[in-house]
Amino acid sequence: MKLPKGKRLTKQRKVILEALKGVKTHPTADEVYDMVRKSLPKISLGTVYRNLDILCEMGLIQKLDIAGRQKRFDGNPKPHCHVRCIECGRVCDVDYEPSIELKSKNFSGFKVLGYSFDFFGICPECQLALDGDSDM
């Protein structure tokens, strides 16, 4: 792994990156904290936040700009679409590639750098839970 100048490869940083790469979910910072505490019980939540930001700057992971109070992190830094459960907040990858035709659109003078296209709905688990509720 090549590091930017002045950045060090600490045990904490390595464990956080491996935890995120080893999972297909899109955990929040405190979920990452719980994951890495198994191997680094003394790590602090502040360190997790700091390293998640640094790994984003390094382009190894991404912070998702998706609804919900807590930010979520994705071990895959390549832009792609997600679905978010409006009940539990769970985020999953989606096999969908939007076809964007930007010609002759009014962008109010903005220099457009990219886009985010995300779906929302109810995840399988919450569908079951909601169905169960309506039976009672």
Contact residues: DNA, CB under 7 A: 3, 6-13, 28-30, 40, 42-47, 49-51, 53-54, 69-71
Question: What phi, psi does 106 have (nearest 5°)?
Answer: -90, 110
Rounded CA gap, 42 and 36, in Å? 10
CB of 75 to DNA, least distance (A): 17
Rounded CA gap, 72 and 65, in Å? 8
- Judged by beta carbon, residue 31 or residue 118, the one nearer a second copy is 118
Classify the phi-psi angles of 59: left when phi > 0, otherwise alpha if psi is within -120 to 50, otherwise beta: left
- Judged by beta carbon, residue 37 or residue 71, the one nearer a second copy is 71
Q: Which stretch binds a second copy (CB under 8 A): 13-21, 27-35, 37-45, 81-89?
A: 81-89
- Judged by beta carbon, residue 104 or residue 135, the one nearer a second copy is 104
- Judged by beta carbon, residue 11 or residue 127, the one nearer DNA is 11
Burial of 91 (0-12, 13-18, 19+ CB in 10 A): buried
Distance of CA 50 to the CA centre of its chain: 15
CB of 23 to a second copy, least distance (A): 15
> How many other CB atoms are found less than 10 A from the CB of residue 16?
27
According to the binding rule CB under 8 A, does residue 100 interact with a second copy?
A: yes
Q: Could you list the residues that contact a second copy (CB under 8 A)? A: 65-67, 83, 85-86, 92-96, 98-102, 105-124, 127
